[in-house]
Amino acid sequence: MATVKDFSFEERLSSVLALQKIDSKIDEIKTLKGELPMEVKDLEDEIEGLQTRINNIDAEIANIEAFIENKSNAKKEAQALIKKYEKQQDNVKNNREFEAINKEMEMQELEVKLNEKHIKDATFELKDRTHARIRTEEKIKDVEEALTIKRKELEKISVETEKEEAVLAQKSAEAKEKVEARLLSAYERIRGSYRNGLAVVPIVRDSFVGCFN
C-alpha cells in the first residue's frame, strides 16, 4: 500500500476515481444478472420445502394405513366373535344364557359398526392426504421447470461475463493498492451507503451527481 507522501493530492484523487470506474463496471455486471441469483436460491429453497412437505405427507399416509389395517383386523375379530356367539345360541340351556350371549353379540355388532366408521373416516382422510401429495408433486414439477429456466438464464449471463468479472476484480484489487488506506476506507464506507455504489461522482450545478446533495 502506498503512503500519502508517495502521491500528490491530484494523484490520490485520480487513483480513487479509477477504482470507482472499475467497481462501477462490476456493478453493471451484477445489475445485468439482476435478482437471478436470489430467484434461483428462492426456488431451490421452495423445492426443498415442498419435498419436506411430501415426506411429512408420506408419514401421515403410513400412519393412516396402519390405523385402517388395525381397525380392519378389529372388525374381523368382532365378526368372528359374532359367529361364535351365534353357534353358542343353539346350545343355550336357559333364557339367562341366551340373553348374556345376545348382549355379547350386540356389543360386537356395535364394535363392527364403530370400526367401520373409523375405517370410513380414515379412508376419507387417506384420499385427502393422497390428493395433497399429488398436488405437491405437481407444484414441485412447476417450480423445477421455473428453476431450470432461471438457472439457464443465470448460467448464460455468468458465462458471458465470467472472464470480464475476473479481469475487473483483479483490476479493482490492483487499483485499491494505489489508494491510501484512509481514502480507501472512506470510499468503501460511502460506496456501501448508496444503492448505486457511487462514492466518487462529478459535481454538476453545485450538486453531486448520484445523490444530488
Mutual orientation of helices 95-177 and 9-33 as an angle, nearest 10°?
Answer: 150
Query: What pLDDT is recorded for position 158?
Result: 81
> Per-residue pLDDT for 144 more than 90?
yes
Cα 96–114–73 angle (5° rounding)?
Answer: 95
Cβ pair 61, 130 in contact under 8 A: yes
How confident is the model over 169-191, as a mean pLDDT? 78
Q: Is residue 25 very low, low, confident or very high in pLDDT (cuts 50, 70, 90)?
A: confident
Q: Is residue 4 very low, low, confident or very high in pLDDT (cuts 50, 70, 90)?
A: very low
Averaged confidence pLDDT in the chain: 83
The residue with greater pLDDT, 170 or 162, is 170
Q: Is residue 21 very low, low, confident or very high in pLDDT (cuts 50, 70, 90)?
A: confident
Picking from 207, 190, 182, the residue whose alpha carbon sits closest to that of residue 15 is: 182
Q: Does pTM top 0.85 for this prediction?
A: no
For 96-139, write each residue's pLDDT tens digit. Answer: 888 998 999 999 999 999 999 999 999 999 999 999 999 999 99
